[in-house]
Amino acid sequence: MNVQLAINAGLAVQFVYDRCESAGAPIDLTGEIFPIGGTSYRVTNTLFANDLATGISGRFQEFNTIGVIAGNTLDPTDIYIAIRGTSNVWEWIQDCKFLPKPFPRVPGSGYTEDGFTDMYLSMSMTPNPHAGSFIDDLYALFPPNAKVTVAGHSLGASLATLLAFDLAANSPFRDTSAVSLYTLASPRVGDLSFMQLFNHVVGNAYRIHNRLDIVTKTPPPLLYFHVGDETELIPSKDMKFDLLCEHHLPNYLNMLASVLDLPGYPISPGCSRTPPAVAQEIT
């Protein structure tokens, strides 16, 4: 796996988190520009979905901004699709039902987790839950020689997995390497049949996980399997051991950046181990 490309994918997802969390409501990000590795990307379409959250954090939006489609401002064939997860791991747990159902977009592909599947099938490029199947409209946005990178974190990683699979299996792309997938903190998405067909269809799929992140260990094994090439990250001694900290996207970026010794990717506030205060002797 190319670590810099994984960082770039994480930065695209972080852009979606930053804009959605500051808004507090469904918003259209179309036209906004954000940098990735010295390259500017412009949002061409906003992705919406039923986020299935129960509102534990005090907010409830049945239909919300979940991601973006963004193109390189200098190269129209270079495209990112970035999908965020829920606001915190507790909402993510509520999003999961852990019951298998057939994935209807690719017949014969086995079973996928029903909460993830229902949310994926609700995705749309307009804030309208009855807009129809967005995937068919998605094909029309890409030039024939497009290179599409799909990226997601947490719940968004499961949606990104289904989207990359759908694109690679059903799109008119002639190049088998046209679709790449980078997931961070992904749960398991489908059963053994799904995993086997996915790995055959999506050749460039990279799954990055923190070995201490509980989300990556769900849904339960034997019924569900991970897909793609695995890269395991190990938190530094400077990161606090905490359920939420182990799952935060900025901390994933910190761990990836440490592989390349890159500055500028700090541990999330509240997740860094701070040395105990040293009492000064009073004389």
- For the stretch 41-90, pLDDT in tens is 999 999 988 765 433 344 444 678 899 999 999 999 999 999 998 765 55
CATH of 3-260, one of 3.40.1260.10, 3.40.50.1820, 2.60.120.10, 3.30.450.30: 3.40.50.1820
> Which residues, including other chains, have CB under 8 Å from residue 187's CB and lie 6 or more apart?
96, 113, 116, 154, 155, 157, 158, 215, 216, 218, 219, 224
Per-residue model confidence (pLDDT) at position 55: 38
- Report residue 93 CA to chain centroid gap: 16
Q: Enter the pTM of the model.
A: 0.90
Rounded-to-integer distance, Cα 183 and Cα 233, Å: 13
Report how far apart, in Å, the C-alpha atoms of 70 and of each of 105, 149, 196 are. Answer: 24, 10, 30
Per-residue model confidence (pLDDT) at position 177: 80
- Whether the per-residue pLDDT at 182 is higher than 50: the answer is yes
